[in-house]
Amino acid sequence: MQSSNTAYVPALDHIRAYAALLALFYHGLQLFWHQAVHGAVFDASHWLATGNPLLAVVVEGHTAVALFMVLSGFIFTWGAKGRNVVYLGFLRNRLLRTYPLFIALIVLGISAMPEHFGWPALLTTVFGFANMPGHLDLSPLSGMFWAVAVEWHFYLLFPFLLLFLNNRGAGYLLGLIVLVLAWRVMAWLLTGEIRELAYFTIAGRLDQFLLGMLAGAWCARQGFEPAPAWIFPLVAALVIAAIWLFHRAGGWPQDNALRIAWGTLEGALWAAFLVAYLGFARLVPARLSRLIASVGIVSYSIYLLHFVVIYIITVKGWYLDFATGPVVAALLTTLLLATPVTLLLAALSYHVIE
């Protein structure tokens, strides 16, 4: 959304578009490939492995969530420009922005699957804990609800974090990042597990928001002077290389000590990517810029709806078979079928609900 307090920056909508499309292609590749190869919708124990760095980014496209988290921290902090925010007003605005579509999907899910309804589950989901046990399971409609919950946990904290940033400087947020890492170490030592916490909870994601805040504060101090365009390809290559190495180390299914720090590194890389892209975006032709930004504007609808579209295509067997092998067929089905359907639904949803 464009803030009335800041000038519109198309590059930020570009980033939203890239994150939403990466999430879409990630789920499309995983579900279509898995169905074709293993005859079932999806099971993380069958994880696609590749030596191609670019394909590895799509295989590990869950990293789009980290980019969204970094972007949230960046936009709010840059928009505040050193000022504090009114707590209740901020929460009201975020509620009005994120909950209409969220509630609409809950209503649709309960109507279509009334056997899944339960008051405790509904209250758990509506009051911000859709990423916790006991939430309302309306899959595939609720497939992305967990990320909305994590975003909301950050919204509850952000006005305080911004106050501390403004009063105590960036060192406070850096110290909090170290503390979050220490919490994850403790959780791993106590339970021997870390993947679920690192991926699905605010304890695993807070440092990504904080890194976005640090990037936003830095840009605000610089007067939003963009970095030289040549920096972006270098940063993008670094992001691709890091994700490829994460994939080669086992990717999402791994549950080991690497996951303690991966989220922090992932967030730092995406924060650098974001800042570098602000300078590079000036080279994007105006018409292409508007097209990409139009996708970014409806990115929230894309994020909540894309999994439903992909799931339906998968279970109905509507995916396209080009006799090109399951990986290429999955990517082509995502590009030629899932993407246009999702974009049309998202545009409609944005204009009539959001």
pLDDT tens, position by position, 155-180: 999 999 999 999 999 999 999 999 99
pLDDT at site 44: 87
Non-local CB neighbours of 114 within 8 Å, separated by 6+ positions: none
283-305 residue pLDDT tens = 999 999 999 999 999 999 999 99
**CA-CA distances (angstroms) from residue 109 to 104, 105, 152, 310?**
9, 6, 21, 16
Q: Tell me the C-alpha distance between 208 and 129, whole Å.
A: 19
Gap between the Cα atoms of 293 and 306, Å rounded: 18
Which letter, b or e, does each residue of 82-99 get, where b requires 16 or more Cβ atoms within 10 Å of its Cβ?
Answer: eeebeeeebbeebeeebe
Residue 22: Cβ within 10 Å count: 20
Nearest CA to 26 among 51, 70, 60? 60
Instruction: Kindly report the backbone phi and psi dihedral angles of residue 142, in degrees, each rounded to the nearest multiple of 5, phi listed first.
Output: -100, 10
Residue pair 295/14 in contact (Cβ under 8 Å)? The answer is no
Q: Mind spelling out the 3-state secondary structure of 167-230?
A: HHCHHHHHHHHHHHHHHHHHHHHHHCCCHHHHHHCHHHHHHHHHHHHHHHHHHHHCCCCCCCCC
Average pLDDT over residues 108-128: 97
Render pLDDT for 169-226 as a digit per residue (tens, 0 to 9): 999 999 999 999 999 999 999 999 999 999 999 999 999 999 999 999 999 987 767 7
**Close Cβ partners of 25 (under 8 Å, ≥ 6 residues apart):** 58, 61, 331, 334, 335, 339
Q: Would you tell me the crossing angle of helices 63-80 and 258-280 to the nearest 10 degrees?
A: 60
The torsion angles phi and psi of 350, rounded to 5 degrees, stand at -60, -45
pLDDT beyond 80 at 95: yes
Spatial CA neighbour of 165 closest among 201, 203, 218, 206: 218
Q: How confident is the model over 41-87, as pLDDT tens digits?
A: 888 889 999 999 999 999 999 999 999 999 999 999 999 989 999 99
| Distance from C-alpha of 306 to C-alpha of 151, rounded to nearest angstrom | 18
The kind and range of the H/E element at 92 are: helix 87-112
Q: Tens digit of pLDDT for each residue in 256-285?
A: 999 999 999 999 999 999 999 999 999 999
**Taken in order 234, 239, 242, 245, is the CA torsion positive or negative?**
negative
Query: Token pair for residue 94?
Result: 């975020």
> 3-state DSSP call for residue 289?
helix
